[in-house]
Structure 1
């Protein structure tokens, strides 16, 4: 999540950055449908087709990670995987460093994927199975992928980053202890080509679109990708899916998802024993990102920002419940 000071709508900034690409001038009224979270995203059209401008301040992003994301997306396209596709700028660059009166920004443009966001549709068994297949195929392709130019960061890099951020805040001893608990615990996990590789990390329903015509899924927002155990992706997806499923249907839907997943991912292995530690990693990472995002405060903040702070504080309290607990976590089978 970006620092809160970057969450303000800035049409002039978006228009200035967009000059690096082709666009239909009359489509800029679509900017009203912008969203800002980990990036600012503004929709527009090129020859009538919807595209998305994505940008963020350079201080909020790692250039190597962004380049690695784009390289992985090119690999997925070559392998006919349903994912967002980058569009080169006038200068032939998929990643533009734009200098503006508001600072320097990293920017890219992507074609809109087909279908509808899965968080906005009714999810039946076939769609759940397709979601599992999409994640399983992503992991199968990841096993075969070797970056040629840039490599995404690893879970250990993320733990290091969290430790650095937490060191800037007084009284975050429980969160710092959680970093060490997870660092020591993951050090004992087996790392194999089958269970570890480049994951999406945020393969949640808001980042997956389902196309009714092709009956297939398309993934967006690879901005959080990292090297981790594939179980991390599966846990994150199931956690997102659970929110959309009736409790009495959950076990059936979970089984259908995993059937689709293993159909594409290959031979099944003990993954569910890895979920509790993966959930703790996700909670810690979310906590630290929100802590950093809201560190600065100002007098007379707009009402939407005050409301957002309240929601974020509540979410942080939930995520922090297990911090530092030393209860035994089962090691996955080797």
Structure 2
């Protein structure tokens, strides 16, 4: 979280939020990267409180996200329910100096966090199946009354690459802009493009052995469905082979995609042309992460592990390479 936001997020603000939602005073902080997340309690029942600063999302954007979450939940997707505040709102606003903090309350997802040791064919297949079901169901989604539609992918401020990339990284910037231009040329159809999570990596769901329970829809936007395949592949490969060779990553990627797509196709179908765009979206994730690190993590706070990742990302961007080679995708029909 930016230092300017941290200064505004006082104990007084947190206590106001807890009182508004009639929550117990004891809380457990879970995260604070782009949003503050807390495990909270209401009459002894654990719930999740998310608090967002207005510099990150507007109230309208948050209400739009929660409208879609409620739709998915009502259609049997295994995601946490949204709780309405005592004032009848999905999002409550709290003034802080010349800005706002927005609060929303969610059901705590069942299951447990996933570790690399949990990676296996069964999990990958379930992961794909839930993703495919989300895509299939969403094709019929229409925003509710007075709900502002979520933005499209190219409205992401992280794609203001000239602003976020270090000035000396001219080669990386030029290569990144070419990838974005290539994505912008892709055709948009109902079968290839829609509202999606965009960040279904293993840190954004719990697993109970039979299904996954997805959360953190903060980055949801209109994008190509293949993105929700590329992102799980990207982070799973990095998690499994952080310091791995290209061969190790390629072998893992083949195993992952085979099982993931088997599950996905039980619920939805993507054309071969859509699958072949996955490398583009692997590159896009590198491009956006490089911007994220420039925006969020000062040089003095980058440990050796993170520096290694950033250097790898930069090198791939400059070479116009994805984290894995996916020539084999044509054989995964």
Q: Which runs of structure 2 are paired with 1:240-259 in the superposition (5 Å)?
A: 240-243=235-238, 247=248, 251-259=254-262
Residue matched to 2:295 = 292
Residue matched to 1:263 = 266
How far residue 263 of structure 1 moved from its aligned partner, in angstroms, is 1.1
1:17 aligns with 2:17: yes
Contact 2:164/2:294 (CA < 8 Å) preserved in 1? no
Contact 1:166/1:175 (CA < 8 Å) preserved in 2? no
Residue matched to 2:286 = 283
Residue matched to 1:132 = 128
Contact 1:166/1:176 (CA < 8 Å) preserved in 2? no
Report how many aligned residue pairs link the two structures: 315
Specify every segment of 5 or more residues in structure 2 that has no aligned partner in the other structure, as ranges.
Answer: 242-247
Residue matched to 1:111 = 107
Residue 132 of structure 1 aligns to a residue in which SS? helix
Give a deviation string over 1:121-142, Cα, whole Å, max 9, x none: 6233322211110111111122
Q: Distance in 2 between matches of 1:57 and 1:310?
A: 30
**Structure 2 residue corresponding to 1:69, chosen from 56, 61, 65:** 65
Q: Distance in 2 between matches of 1:165 and 1:70?
A: 32
Specify whether residues 172 and 4 from structure 1 end up closer, same or farther in structure 2 by C-alpha distance, changes over 3 A only: farther
Specify whether residues 35 and 187 from structure 1 end up closer, same or farther in structure 2 by C-alpha distance, changes over 3 A only: closer
1:205 aligns with 2:207: no
Instruction: Give the structure-1-normalised TM-score.
Output: 0.82
Residue matched to 1:224 = 219
Contact 2:198/2:220 (CA < 8 Å) preserved in 1? yes
Residue 56 of structure 1 aligns to a residue in which SS? strand
Contact 2:198/2:231 (CA < 8 Å) preserved in 1? yes
Q: Which runs of structure 2 are paired with 1:1-334 in the superposition (5 Å)?
A: 2-3=1-2, 6=5, 11-25=11-25, 28=26, 30-31=27-28, 33-100=29-96, 104-119=100-115, 122-148=118-144, 149-158=147-156, 162-163=159-160, 166=163, 170-212=167-209, 215-243=210-238, 247=248, 251-266=254-269, 268-294=271-297, 306-308=300-302, 312-323=306-317
Specify whether residues 18 and 253 from structure 1 end up closer, same or farther in structure 2 by C-alpha distance, changes over 3 A only: same
How far residue 173 of structure 1 moved from its aligned partner, in angstroms, is 3.2
Contact 1:290/1:312 (CA < 8 Å) preserved in 2? no
Give a deviation string over 1:30-87, Cα, whole Å, max 9, x none: 42x4321121111111122211111122112243322221110011122111112221
Q: Distance in 1 between matches of 2:280 and 2:10?
A: 39
Specify whether residues 252 and 115 from structure 1 end up closer, same or farther in structure 2 by C-alpha distance, changes over 3 A only: same
Q: Distance in 2 between matches of 1:244 and 1:309?
A: 17
Give a deviation string over 1:79-126, Cα, whole Å, max 9, x none: 111112221222111111112469521221111011112237623332
Contact 2:165/2:173 (CA < 8 Å) preserved in 1? no
Higher mean alpha-carbon deviation, 277-286 vs 54-63, is at 54-63
Q: Distance in 1 between matches of 2:4 and 2:308?
A: 20
Aligned structure 1 segments of 4 or more residues deviating by more than 6 angstroms? none
Contact 1:205/1:237 (CA < 8 Å) preserved in 2? yes
Contact 1:178/1:284 (CA < 8 Å) preserved in 2? no
